[in-house]
Chain A
Amino acid sequence: MPAIIKTEDLSHVYSEGTPFCKTAVGGVNLSIEEGEMVGVIGHTGSGKSTLIQHFNGLLKPTTGKIYIDGQDIWANKQDIRSVRFKVGLVFQYPEYQLFEETVYKDIAFGPKNMGLSEEEIDERVHSAIRFVGLKESVLEKSPFDLSGGQKRRVAIAGVIAMDPKVLILDEPTAGLDPKGRDLILNQIMAYHEEKKNTVLLVSHSMEDIAKFATKVLVMNNAAVFTYDTVEAVFSRVEELNDMGLSTPQITRVFYELHKQGLPVSDKIFTVKAAREELLKRLQKGGGGC
């Protein structure tokens, strides 16, 4: 499959030449294929947010190149806006960017900036609100009258309405209750499955990553530590622990059980897989676990 996002030796240095000078990302070589659901993990300050802001041209790399869909996005500076329509970025706490009088107008902001026709915008707004699981009746309300979770979904809809080829979400579930979290993640999953587009999901929840992602990108100390499948990444328990990251709870349980000599696999990443593994062991009749 062709790479939709490719970086070559990408580095970004903040406030160069001042006492606050800091390398936020250094020497990133990455190639993300189309249609992947990528989980991005890394502790606070590891450079995740800086890296993802390069993918849609909000930050310009200090050195290195970024290719979206095979095109060097900084080859033509005038074209940078079109990159932003191709790569939709949902920031942390996106509800703070809402500003219009009605939800409809706010979701329409992106498509309007793309220069689409009224009918096209209308269609996009309605399909976006459906994707995030809100009722059509919300469209005429003021975004400031909605609940926190609803506001967030409206904000995500505002980016989805641009129909980007790549959707990047920076901690879309931060500060939500468990129900709101599952709701948003399931909607994003459904969207990904229907559109077959590439999704990057920054999250601190290893459980969510294991449940939804196909690949995992691990950032550590301003560099990419690894970019691999969920299985490959979460098998490196010790290394992740050393970085201050963890593995899904269920993985840790099975890892310890395995270490204690019980006949279970130590490569279990979701509760569902754990259940299957246990049932399999029980049917075999051995073990007594």
Chain B
Amino acid sequence: MLKDITIGQFFPGQSPVHKLDPRIKIILTLAYIVMLFMTGNAFGFLIPIVFLIVLYLIAHIPLKMILKSMKPIVPIIIITAVLNLFFVDGDPLWSWGIFTITKNGVAMSIMMAVRILCLIAGTSLLTYTTSPIALTDGIERLLSPLKKIHFPAHELAMMMTIALRFIPTLIEETDKIMSAQKARGADMETGGLIQRAKALVPILIPLFISAFRRAEELALAMECRCYHGGEGRTRMKQLHLSLRDAVASLVVAACIAGIVCINIFVTVGNF
């Protein structure tokens, strides 16, 4: 069912990870991605992996959820791994016709798989532990320096908030419409590609109609509450940096420093 999509879902909690300032969390997530791509050593990968495991343990996200969110990206990982396996030059381990597997290729493909897994798990942690509202709030504040060059930071954040807010609503709506059409015998599970595409019509048309209706109602409701854009708008919940955020930043900085050191000083397991 559509409800089973867990990428980008928020798991409410009270852990220190949840309580971090969203701005810091976004920046640290970006730093984590940089960290992953800086690592060029097998031992170096231990740092981002351990880092992630510890964070997931602190955040109390069940393992089942993590595995579930990994499921859709398994094909991508397999394709990347296979491509790397065959297309990296080096000492041949095994060859058959035009296919050659090299030692470097095996190492590369494992490394890429680990990298993608960490990437998805790391960025998922951000959405798992940050409510959509806090997330867009953080993005707006991070982008606000760009307001000086007339970048519509507030409008962008508002659009994101609304879009995020309506994802579950639209999923629920889709589920409902699907159930209603299934109750009338619509068959969505069998048939060829064209038949399946045609089977979507009874779902998409009502979905679009209701999305437009909702958009109109929301616009009206916002106007009724005198919404007029970002200028002069204050917030109920102000973001404040705390000691926790400083500690988290230091830990990430230390991890990056560790990786740089390993890249420079450890010679075994380099690529």
Spell out A's residues near B (CB within 8 Å): 15, 17-19, 53, 56, 58, 81, 84-85, 88-91, 94, 96-99, 109-110, 113-114, 144, 158-159, 162
Contact = CB atoms under 8 A, between A and B. Distances in A.
B12 interface: yes
A162 B185 contact: yes
28 contacts: A15-B3, A17-B64, A18-B64, A19-B12, A53-B179, A56-B183, A58-B179, A58-B183, A81-B185, A81-B187, A84-B183, A85-B185, A88-B183, A90-B183, A91-B183, A94-B180, A96-B176, A96-B180, A97-B180, A97-B184, A97-B202, A97-B206, A99-B202, A110-B184, A110-B185, A113-B186, A114-B185, A158-B184
Contacts of A96: 176-177, 180, 206, 209-210
Interface in B92-140: none
Contacts of B205: 99
Contact of A159 (B65, B179, B184, B187): B184
A17 B201 contact: no
A56 B177 CA distance: 15
B43 interface: no
Contacts of A19: 11-12, 62
A113 B185 contact: yes
Contact of A17 (B62, B185, B202): B62
B161 interface: no
B211 to A, nearest CB: 11
Nearest to A17: B64
Contacts of B64: 17-18
Contact of A97 (B11, B12, B62, B177): B177
Contacts of B176: 91, 96
A84 B185 CA distance: 6
A98 B184 contact: no
Contacts of B182: 58, 84
Contacts of A84: 182-185
B29 interface: no
B181 interface: yes
Contacts of A158: 184
B204 to A, nearest CB: 8
Contacts of A144: 209
Q: Which 7 A-B pairs have the closest CB atoms?
A: A113-B185, A99-B205, A97-B180, A110-B184, A89-B183, A91-B180, A99-B202
A130 to B, nearest CB: 19
A85 B183 CA distance: 8
Interface string B169-212: 00000001101111111110000000000000110011001100
